[in-house]
Amino acid sequence: MTTDSIRHFRRIRDVSPDELRFIINKAIEIKQRPDAWSTALTGKTLAMLFQKTSTRTRFSFEVGMTQLGGHAIFAETRLTNIGIADLADEGLVISRYVDVIMARLKQSTDLMTLASASEVPVINGLDEKYHPAQALTDLMTIKEKLGRTADLKIVYVGIANNVSNSLAMAAVYSDAQFVLCVPEKDPDSDVPEHLAFLQESSRYSENPDIAEAVKDADVIYTDTWINLEYFTDPSFAEEKERRINTFTPYQVNEEMLALTGKDTLVMHCLPAHKGYEVNETVLYTPNSVVFDQAENRLHAQKALLLWLLNKL
């Protein structure tokens, strides 16, 4: 069987702007009328492969499959033979058992290898370069809260990383204005061709000046300055200290919100490191939609699963 025609969701650019809009609108509809899809994936199975920890991605995909009438298998890759065998071979075998795969692998190159070998759609559940399922949810949440995405100003503050890469692409696809307000970029998340694509759009800009960047922002978004697997890693302690010093002026707090001149939404993919990239007061103010955003992972991913399996 040829695997060339299989639709994957490895990154936002695997779908067109129209397709992204369609999935987002369906996600909102599914959230309102979940019962209408309660048997849509009866008999279907999702394999969930994790090399990294997760709360939201794991629970929302697994519950999503249950609510669609299907089934999900959770596997930590260290308890499979993926680490000691050829990844493509193992991916191909898994794809012969299941209807769709979601994988959180540390390396984007491994996710690409898995997708190339798989005979069923592969969803990226986060790698060091992208987090497309998160960005899908983020644009759904913005549309749900503000009624539209076009011409809104979405400002990402903190460190440029996997989350900001996918968010930027989804925002530009959704006709929003995206501003990256960062003092530096996580080198692991660098993808020159992704950046080149964004830089072609008049909707994408970078501005490290906080006051200028956040003025008139409809949304301020932030993420951890240190990726999950390094936060408590002793070998990363020195770099962690350096980053805290560099990024502290970029903390999302009341002073930053006061600079927008608007009733700005605060978003975060979670988990948050309170007192670092966001302070506790702002995380729990009414402007913060982080918990609705986290819930929406469930609804957005149900729409994504249905779309990839041609059930919408």
Interaction site with ligand NVA (CB under 6 A): 126, 161-163, 223-224, 227-228, 269
d(C-alpha 114, C-alpha 87), whole Å: 7
Supply the minimum distance, in Å, between the C-beta of residue 186 and ligand CP.
Answer: 16
Backbone phi, psi, residue 213, to 5°: -65, -40
Q: Closer to ligand CP at the Cβ: 260 or 293?
A: 293
3-state secondary structure of 27: helix
CB atoms within 10 A of CB 271: 15
Q: Which of ligand CP, ligand NVA, none does residue 161 bind to, with CB < 5 to 8 Å depending on kind?
A: ligand NVA
CA angle (168, 169, 170) in 5-degree steps: 95
Q: Closer to ligand CP at the Cβ: 262 or 273?
A: 273
Binding residue for ligand CP (CB under 6 A) from 220, 269, 304, 309?
269
Contact flags string 25-64 toward ligand CP, x per CB under 6 A: -----------------------------xxxx-------
Q: Which of ligand CP, ligand NVA, none does residue 162 bind to, with CB < 5 to 8 Å depending on kind?
A: ligand NVA
d(C-alpha 169, C-alpha 162), whole Å: 11
- Residue 157, Ramachandran bin (φ over 0: left; ψ between -120 and 50: alpha; else beta): beta
Q: Which of ligand CP, ligand NVA, none does residue 39 bind to, with CB < 5 to 8 Å depending on kind?
A: none
Which residue has the closest beta carbon to ligand CP?
A: 57
Q: Which stretch binds ligand CP (CB under 6 A): 3-11, 37-45, 85-93, 269-277?
A: 269-277
The sheet carrying 153-157 orders its strands as 204-206, 177-181, 153-157, 219-222, 265-268
Supply the minimum distance, in Å, between the C-beta of residue 273 and ligand NVA.
Answer: 10
**Judged by CB under 6 A, does residue 224 bind ligand CP?**
no
DSSP 263-305: --EEEE-S---BTTTB-HHHHTSTTB-HHHHHHHHHHHHHHHH
DSSP 150-173: TT-EEEEES-B-HHHHHHHHHHHH
Q: Closer to ligand NVA at the Cβ: 67 or 161?
A: 161
Contact flags string 126-165 toward ligand CP, x per CB under 6 A: x-------x-------------------------------
Contact predicate 12/166, CB 8 Å: yes
39 class by beta-carbon count within 10 Å (0-12 exposed, 13-18 middle, 19+ buried):
exposed
Supply the minimum distance, in Å, between the C-beta of residue 53 and ligand CP.
Answer: 7
Q: Closer to ligand NVA at the Cβ: 227 or 260?
A: 227
Q: Which of ligand CP, ligand NVA, none does residue 55 bind to, with CB < 5 to 8 Å depending on kind?
A: ligand CP
Q: Closer to ligand NVA at the Cβ: 51 or 95?
A: 51
Angle between helix 162-173 and 132-146 (nearest 10) = 50
Supply the minimum distance, in Å, between the C-beta of residue 4 and ligand CP.
Answer: 29
Binding residues (CB under 6 A) for ligand CP: these are: 54-57, 126, 134, 269-271
